[in-house]
Amino acid sequence: MKKLIALILKLLTGSKGPVEPVMLDEGMLSGNFSADEFRCKCCGQLHPSGVMPPRELLDILEDTRAHFGAPVSISSGYRCSRHNARVGGAKASRHMEGDAADIQVKGVSASKVYAYIAKRVGDRGGVGRYNSFTHVDVRGYKARW
Ligand SMILES: [Zn+2]
Ligand SMILES: [Zn+2]
């Protein structure tokens, strides 16, 4: 009987059958990165004004993961101003804008990660070289350090 009703509905509405519930893992921002990884370490905020990390940043992180074929961990994503000051971040740190991430790629040196990301980001963002991690942001113009 259910099948018949579904068939009639299908004929009447032209839809492709019953709508399946979309199984979204709500904690995920992209295929491999969760919202929790971006949250401020002190207050748990994800972004100023509640906006999600930009798609462009997530795309860069996904591409980096695919390029090296290794997991990417985010040691610092969004920072509220209090946390930024505590960890000695730059006064106008992009981490406070929510469009930056400090990352490590498992088994890959920070200098190799820097080289790839600098190329991938091009003129559209900032890339910083550190001993044990690489900073990346999508500020909209080129910055390197
Ligand atoms: Zn905080
Ligand atoms: Zn950073």
Q: What is the pLDDT of residues 48-64, one digit of tens each?
A: 776 678 999 999 999 99
The pTM for the full model equals 0.80
Q: What domains sit in the chain, N to C, each tagged with a CATH number?
A: 42-144 (3.30.1380.10)
Q: What is the pLDDT of residues 58-100, one digit of tens each?
A: 999 999 999 999 999 999 999 999 999 999 999 999 999 999 9
Q: How confident is the model at residue 88, as a pLDDT?
A: 95
Q: How confident is the model at residue 12, as a pLDDT?
A: 54
Mean pLDDT over 21-32 rounds to: 68
Contact 8, 58 (CB under 8 A): no
pLDDT, averaged across the chain: 86
Q: How confident is the model at residue 17, as a pLDDT?
A: 44
Q: Residue 117: nearest ligand to its CA?
A: 2
Q: What is the DSSP string of 92-138?
A: T-GGGTT-EEEEEETTS-HHHHHHHHHHHHGGGSEEEE-SS-EEEE-
Q: How confident is the model at residue 46, as a pLDDT?
A: 85
Q: How far apart are the first and last CA of the chain?
A: 67
Q: How confident is the model at residue 110, as a pLDDT?
A: 97
d(CA 22, CA 124): 34
Q: How confident is the model at residue 92, as a pLDDT?
A: 94
d(CA 73, CA 18): 39
Q: How confident is the model at residue 25, as a pLDDT?
A: 64
Look up tokens 């949250």; give the residue: 39
Ligand 2 centroid to Cα of residue 135, in Å, is 4
Crossing angle of helices 110-121 and 55-68, rounded to 10°: 130
Q: How confident is the model at residue 49, as a pLDDT?
A: 72
Structure tokens that stand for 2 in this block:
């259910």
Look up tokens 């990346």; give the residue: 136
Ligand 1 centroid to Cα of residue 51, in Å, is 15
Ligand 2 centroid to Cα of residue 10, in Å, is 52
Ligand 1 centroid to Cα of residue 84, in Å, is 8
Q: Residue 40: nearest ligand to its CA?
A: 1
Instruction: Note residues around ion ligand 1 (Cβ under 5 angstroms).
Output: 40, 42-43, 80, 83
